Amino acid sequence: MPMKLSFASDYEEGAHPSILRRLFETNMEKAPGYGTDVYTESAREKIRIACAAPEADVYFLAGGTQTNAVVISAMLRPYQGVIAAETGHIAVHEAGAVECGGHKVLTLPHHDGKLDPDELDACIRLWFKDPNRDHIVMPGMVYLSQPTEYGTLYSLADLERISAVCRASGLSLYVDGARLAYALACPENDVTLPDLARLCDAFYVGGTKCGALFGEALVFPRHDTVPHFFTIVKQRGALLAKGRVAAIQFDVLFTDGLYEKLGAHALAAAVRIRTALRGRGYHLAVPSPTNQIFPVLSSERERELTEKVGMSFWERADGGAVYRIATSWATTDEDVDALIKIL
Amino acid sequence: MPMKLSFASDYEEGAHPSILRRLFETNMEKAPGYGTDVYTESAREKIRIACAAPEADVYFLAGGTQTNAVVISAMLRPYQGVIAAETGHIAVHEAGAVECGGHKVLTLPHHDGKLDPDELDACIRLWFKDPNRDHIVMPGMVYLSQPTEYGTLYSLADLERISAVCRASGLSLYVDGARLAYALACPENDVTLPDLARLCDAFYVGGTKCGALFGEALVFPRHDTVPHFFTIVKQRGALLAKGRVAAIQFDVLFTDGLYEKLGAHALAAAVRIRTALRGRGYHLAVPSPTNQIFPVLSSERERELTEKVGMSFWERADGGAVYRIATSWATTDEDVDALIKIL
Amino acid sequence: MPMKLSFASDYEEGAHPSILRRLFETNMEKAPGYGTDVYTESAREKIRIACAAPEADVYFLAGGTQTNAVVISAMLRPYQGVIAAETGHIAVHEAGAVECGGHKVLTLPHHDGKLDPDELDACIRLWFKDPNRDHIVMPGMVYLSQPTEYGTLYSLADLERISAVCRASGLSLYVDGARLAYALACPENDVTLPDLARLCDAFYVGGTKCGALFGEALVFPRHDTVPHFFTIVKQRGALLAKGRVAAIQFDVLFTDGLYEKLGAHALAAAVRIRTALRGRGYHLAVPSPTNQIFPVLSSERERELTEKVGMSFWERADGGAVYRIATSWATTDEDVDALIKIL
Amino acid sequence: MPMKLSFASDYEEGAHPSILRRLFETNMEKAPGYGTDVYTESAREKIRIACAAPEADVYFLAGGTQTNAVVISAMLRPYQGVIAAETGHIAVHEAGAVECGGHKVLTLPHHDGKLDPDELDACIRLWFKDPNRDHIVMPGMVYLSQPTEYGTLYSLADLERISAVCRASGLSLYVDGARLAYALACPENDVTLPDLARLCDAFYVGGTKCGALFGEALVFPRHDTVPHFFTIVKQRGALLAKGRVAAIQFDVLFTDGLYEKLGAHALAAAVRIRTALRGRGYHLAVPSPTNQIFPVLSSERERELTEKVGMSFWERADGGAVYRIATSWATTDEDVDALIKIL
């Protein structure tokens, strides 16, 4: 059965072939469990180097919602909540995982998916000034996504500012990098891995959407940020018995710049599609420079296109239907050609 | 570096090669996420057939502690706890995952790792007769492992009895099958997958320790046992974005009887080792018929053997040190020969 | 030390003297614990009669946040959240108690403290229509306060509509009646206790702010709405050993219409103050007809008044400072006179 | 209806009359809420003086299970559990409140209701030595009751030893003093309030069972032991709006030695009953020196006595039925006479 052309998401294929090859090569070697093996140590060290964070603690978890939930509940005290944009993944699409762990998500308005540093600052000040603050959830962490759920990017200046706001008031800063490859490879991006390590208290480098079978590399730039974090991971059901399986994938991704190359591949495809869309007069709902593109479709175009190509329905807005087109490390030139032809 | 001979655990290698091959073959096919793909449906159907449970709901999760924690918190009401043997994995080695989900583990004495059906019955009756029972955690579920953490097996008669006890009092019965392949293939075993489906409310077929890279197949023999279970899985951070990756592994394991063959392979190796141990006068701490063997070592033998072969230290008992030797789907004849030579 | 005139809240005094007298009279009688005594049964029966709900289950808890947290976590399933106005007490001033119990508070805009039935209906429909709804917290309950945190009232028509919306989609309706006496006694109110019993799945009749030392009477109009609720109350630390102490207070409040009388007393005082404020040209920030009054004060008036009378600062808005003046069952005519004199 | 003679518990009556009188006297005074009033400050200061702990933080909560649950979850980190005797109230009769807060109760055998310091020491060492300890709940706190649930007492030497064991390994020590008055007044007791303050990290002075309508005074001998504890109390639904009501009761109990006098009154009655029981040849199941007495009754005696006097059934043991007779601050000489007559 020939498959329909699809740009529905960036996790439709398996893994980059070099990852599978490496899993094959190492398959029958024996390794101890729970992340105590040599592959895990190798992957950790490569990530520490890429982040210029030699003291960093690195953990490999299976997925994004899991990573978010474990980190947030491990870093917050019971009386604290986490600030996020109202469009943040933890606020909307994680089925209440943060609340299930006992904490409130304190939402702020979004601006193309981003938190505004001034609004963030004001929100934190408000709590500290409130005479009833002891009856109100205390902001204990800021969560943001890079790129955001809308494909947009925080600039280095934004992130410096947000980090400074957090540090001034004792909040942690945590960055969800589910699609980080597509930020790092973006020409408009000026935030590097060392910047993240310098400015955040924790962040994760996404694998599932960036070329791995599954897996996210969680980085605490400073050693022992969360004492007994290993046990917390185990307690939350997030400890992989065969830790090597996730680690080998990151070991490959962080060898010879593969992670950056996969990001660049997806972005080149996105640029072609975005250019074609603009050329044909489509309005884009969000000015996203990364691998997610949000065209607004008229009813007629919606009917025609959705028959021929898989896309994700986003929302009704701007006088039409907003759909998401996602490119990835696996997007082929042929598929991009085919898509452009029918736009 | 030549690796030391190791029988330390049954999760030291990657996956059975046919699994990796299948991941390669299907790698660049596009599939929707979260278990809505054709591979997941295929694996589900094969498991339903193997269990003779055509209405069963089947979910693929990443690991055992995760599966236990999600199922137990989803099936219990807030005022209920789960009964387990004091040696049960959830009672000892899951870092308090069940309690983290809000529930008490109610422990009973173990008998070579097993619950005694009469003691179980008495314990449940005790709660119902206690005039203060409304101040005491109510037993809501029975958890057992097949094989147990000590490698022993519940007989079909045991399981029939335990199931009847549970049903008489409205408790759920849940079986942790982390090493189920090594039970199913055991000549002394008389409990089949259809028996589990008939007698339990939920159980899981272990992949991580039985030939997969990772993954457990959770089976609810009756449809919609837990409404909205998909969302509960998501909320607990246990939903795999690329559901295909776990499902393909089970699809292979349940094709042409591979799961049984892998179990039989491990058991043949275990029989050889057990015979050799007995022949050389070793005492075995537990009469385990499956892939885990528990010799008692004198100080001298402990020193000699642990230098030459990886084993898991279990406990000091029976006037010596109990170690665990585990065989698996990946154990080679050469390694068994080498081990027997040095015993 | 003469006390400053204060209208800061409706819980500044102890209890209505007839409650203390009754506690004295019954003090040395022996009674069994945990709500199994004759006083508890008597108070329950009086409340059932007042609510025209002969099958109702009635529990006496110590405070409002506790009651809300226990009811909400007991009635929701893990994947569900509770809808509230963004100004709802559970959304703002309970320190994240609902999230601590594992559930998200889903907020809607408020209209003078109230939910709009149409917006509520739309919000619930939105979830059911969302193709990603299985990744999103499901609305499982509607929470509202009568009177609201802004002193406003839901009309019977509002409540009928909200109840119908809930029942159409299987949501529970729960009403926080912390200040219910001040709603029931209000001339503008048309919602009776029997209406609440008919339209809600649970509600509580507030004692702490309505003349008791402490205590809230939680009513489930239908028997056994939450099985094992007694144990849930115990588990949440909300079970009073000497249940009689809370129950006797409600027994008195529901004898000879005392609860209504206390409400009427507070409202008469509120009417006098509101009339005086309007007469002197004050703007009221909220059209609240109950015992809470929200004048907007210029800087000058703020300075003068806060020196002479205790009020609660509410917020900066409407070009001035909004303060709350609260009357209660304990407000004296002399204090009202004194307040009016200095307004 | 004349009441049957009852020694079923120590919380059958209301409060000591001087407490009710003081509630009456202060009833119409206005006080701010949530423990910011002068009565709360006065009671705190009296307790600090009684404990020789001038820096202590003191909070007034409504009941024992609540206090235990709030303190334990506030002081433990997620990966930690609390050690208790298997007969400890938190392990048995609090409906899983500790687990509901996310933590495991790690039980040790009891010795007439007490933990053995050597067994405690060994249990803690075992965890630290276990190579799998990162997969096992870490002991983070020791919970004990003074007097115990069996009416027995820890000696000062016991408590010094337990405290030293805790401090050597970084565990907190928490003492549940639900019946502390009956320990403090016992001639066999050598543990004072200043000893508790010196040796524990937290403990509570029981009110509910020692003469108050309700209420427990929680003491953290060192200031700010748990940052933001006020908010944690609120979040757990344990914050009393009218904090004065609990505080005034403790203010009275800690004036002119009333707390000690009430304890002494109960113990004098207990001595008379214990002497009578021994004189008539009853076997006592536990050598409890405080207000709880545990006679073993033959079937015949059980039938006769339970008709005439209320007692709590404890368990079948020692070839008979063990019942609990409890005296209290409210026990009258007439009732003791009547009881002795029918023994």
Report helix, strand or coil for D329: coil
- In angstroms, the CA D284 to CA D150 distance is 11
- In angstroms, the CA C340 to CA C276 distance is 6
The answer to whether C134 contacts A92, with C-beta atoms less than 8 Å apart, is no
Preferred mutation among C65, C72, C80, C135 to probe A, highest tally of A CBs within 10 A: C135
> Which residue of chain D comes nearest to A101, CA vs CA?
D102
Look at residue A268 in the predicted model and tell me its pLDDT. 98
- CB of D79 less than 8 A from some CB of A: yes
- CB of A25 less than 8 A from some CB of B: no
Element (H, E) at A169: helix A156-169
Chain centroid, CA C195 distance in Å: 16
- CB of B79 less than 8 A from some CB of C: yes
Of A9, A68, A234, nearest to B65 by CB-CB distance is A234
- What is the amino acid identity at position B164? A
- CB of A109 less than 8 A from some CB of C: no
Strand partners, D144: D175
**Contact of A55 with A196, CB cutoff 8 Å:** no
Q: Which residues contact D259 (CB under 8 A, 6 or more apart)?
A: D181, D184, D205, D210, D211, D253
Nearest to A210, CA basis, from A178, A184, A247, A240? A178
Q: Which residues contact A91 (CB under 8 A, 6 or more apart)?
A: A84, A85, A105, A107
| ipTM score assigned to the predicted complex | 0.97
Nearest to B326, CA basis, from B151, B89, B65? B151
Look at residue D3 in the predicted model and tell me its pLDDT. 62
Task: Give CA torsion, residues C78, C80, C82, C86, to 10 deg.
Answer: 110
Nearest to A155, CA basis, from A121, A112, A125? A112
Residue recorded with tokens 């003679």: D5
Nearest to B327, CA basis, from B7, B14, B16? B7
- CB of A21 less than 8 A from some CB of D: no
Chains meeting C at 3+ CB pairs closer than 8 A?
A, B, D
Proportion of chain B above pLDDT 70, given as a percent = 99
Q: In sequence order, what DSSP letters do the residues of C214-257 get, joined into one string?
A: S-EEEEESSTTSSTTHHHHHHHTT---TTHHHHHHHHHHHTSTT
Q: What is the DSSP letter of D28?
A: T
> Which residue of chain C comes nearest to A73, CA vs CA?
C100
- In angstroms, the CA B175 to CA B178 distance is 9
**Contact of C128 with C169, CB cutoff 8 Å:** yes
pLDDT in single tens digits along all 343 residues of chain A: 446 899 999 999 999 999 999 999 999 999 999 999 999 999 999 999 999 999 999 999 999 999 999 999 999 999 999 999 999 999 999 999 999 999 999 999 999 999 999 999 999 999 999 999 999 999 999 999 999 999 999 999 999 999 999 999 999 999 999 999 999 999 999 999 999 999 999 999 999 999 999 999 999 999 999 999 999 999 999 999 999 999 999 999 999 999 999 999 999 999 999 999 999 999 999 999 999 999 999 999 999 999 999 999 998 887 899 999 999 999 999 999 999 999 9
The answer to whether A79 contacts D135, with C-beta atoms less than 8 Å apart, is no
Q: Which residues contact C317 (CB under 8 A, 6 or more apart)?
A: C285, C296
Contact residues, chain B, for C79 at CB < 8 Å: 228, 231-232, 235
- In angstroms, the CA B23 to CA B15 distance is 11
Report helix, strand or coil for A32: coil
> Which residue of chain D comes nearest to B97, CA vs CA?
D102
- In angstroms, the CA A216 to CA A212 distance is 9
Q: Which residues contact D153 (CB under 8 A, 6 or more apart)?
A: D146, D147, D183, D186, D188, D189, D191, D289, D290
- CB of C79 less than 8 A from some CB of B: yes
Look at the alpha carbons of D197, D200, D203, D205 in this order and tell me if their dihedral is positive or negative: negative
Q: In sequence order, what DSSP letters do the residues of B178-228 get, joined into one string?
A: TTHHHHHT-TT----HHHHHHH-SEEEEE-TTTTSSS-EEEEESSTTSSTT
In 10 A of CB A132, how many CB atoms? 13
User: What does the pLDDT look like over C161-198, one tens digit per residue?
Assistant: 999 999 999 999 999 999 999 999 999 999 999 999 99
In 10 A of CB B4, how many CB atoms? 11
- Strand intervals (E) in chain D: 5-6, 57-61, 80-85, 105-108, 138-145, 172-177, 202-206, 216-220, 283-284, 292-293, 295-297, 309-310, 312-317, 320-326
Nearest to B43, CA basis, from B207, B263, B254, B196? B254
The answer to whether D78 contacts A232, with C-beta atoms less than 8 Å apart, is yes
Q: How far is CA D62 from each of CA A180, D243, D246, rounded to the nearest angstrom? A: 50, 10, 7
Burial (Cβ within 10 Å: 0-12, 13-18, ≥19) of residue C334: exposed
Contact residues, chain A, for D77 at CB < 8 Å: 227-228
The per-residue pLDDT of chain B, averaged, comes to 97
Q: Phi and psi at residue D174, in whole multiples of 5°?
A: -130, 130
State how beta strands D295-297 and D320-326 pair. Answer: antiparallel
> Which residue of chain C comes nearest to B134, CA vs CA?
C231
Preferred mutation among C98, C99, C108, C313 to probe A, highest tally of A CBs within 10 A: C99
Q: Which residues contact C224 (CB under 8 A, 6 or more apart)?
A: C57
D1 band by pLDDT with thresholds 50, 70 and 90: very low
- In angstroms, the CA D42 to CA A228 distance is 41
Preferred mutation among B71, B77, B137 to probe C, highest tally of C CBs within 10 A: B77
**Contact of C165 with C117, CB cutoff 8 Å:** yes
Q: How far is CA C88 from each of CA A99, C82, C97, C327, rounded to the nearest angstrom? A: 18, 11, 13, 21
- In angstroms, the CA B308 to CA D148 distance is 52
- Strand intervals (E) in A253-331: 283-284, 292-293, 295-297, 309-310, 312-317, 320-326
Q: Phi and psi at residue A29, in whole multiples of 5°?
A: -70, 145
Chain centroid, CA D38 distance in Å: 26
Look at residue A1 in the predicted model and tell me its pLDDT. 43
Of C93, C94, C104, nearest to A96 by CB-CB distance is C104
The answer to whether B13 contacts A32, with C-beta atoms less than 8 Å apart, is no
Task: Give CA torsion, residues A42, A44, A49, A50, to 10 deg.
Answer: 110
Alpha helix segments (H runs only) across chain B: 17-25, 38-50, 64-75, 89-92, 97-100, 117-129, 156-169, 180-184, 193-199, 229-235, 243-253, 258-279, 299-308, 333-342
Look at the alpha carbons of B303, B304, B309, B313 in this order and tell me if their dihedral is positive or negative: negative
Contact residues, chain C, for D333 at CB < 8 Å: none
Look at the alpha carbons of A46, A52, A56, A60 in this order and tell me if their dihedral is positive or negative: negative
Report helix, strand or coil for D228: coil
> How many beta-carbon pairs below 8 A join chains B and C?
37
Contact residues, chain C, for B74 at CB < 8 Å: 78
B128 band by pLDDT with thresholds 50, 70 and 90: very high
Show the tokens assigned to D137. 């709940």
D317 band by pLDDT with thresholds 50, 70 and 90: confident
Nearest to D137, CA basis, from A341, A199, B91? B91
D316 band by pLDDT with thresholds 50, 70 and 90: confident
Look at residue B317 in the predicted model and tell me its pLDDT. 80
- The D residues from 194 to 253 touching B (CB cutoff 8 Å) are none
- CB of A94 less than 8 A from some CB of C: yes
Contact residues, chain C, for D29 at CB < 8 Å: 3, 13-14
User: What does the pLDDT look like over C304-331, one tens digit per residue?
Assistant: 999 999 999 998 887 899 999 999 999 9
Preferred mutation among C75, C134, C233, C234 to probe B, highest tally of B CBs within 10 A: C134
- In angstroms, the CA C247 to CA C82 distance is 29
- Given a cut of 70, whether residue D303 has pLDDT beyond it is yes
- What is the amino acid identity at position C292? Q
Preferred mutation among D7, D19, D27 to probe C, highest tally of C CBs within 10 A: D27
Report helix, strand or coil for B49: helix
- Given a cut of 70, whether residue C3 has pLDDT beyond it is no
- In angstroms, the CA A113 to CA C198 distance is 44
Report helix, strand or coil for A103: coil
Nearest to B202, CA basis, from B238, B177, B239? B177
- CB of A129 less than 8 A from some CB of C: no
Contact residues, chain D, for A127 at CB < 8 Å: none
Q: How far is B231 from chain C (nearest CA, A)?
A: 5
State pTM to two decimals. Answer: 0.97
Look at residue A293 in the predicted model and tell me its pLDDT. 98
> How many beta-carbon pairs below 8 A join chains B and D?
50
Mean pLDDT within C13-33: 97
Look at residue B1 in the predicted model and tell me its pLDDT. 43
Q: How far is D79 from chain A (nearest CA, A)?
A: 6
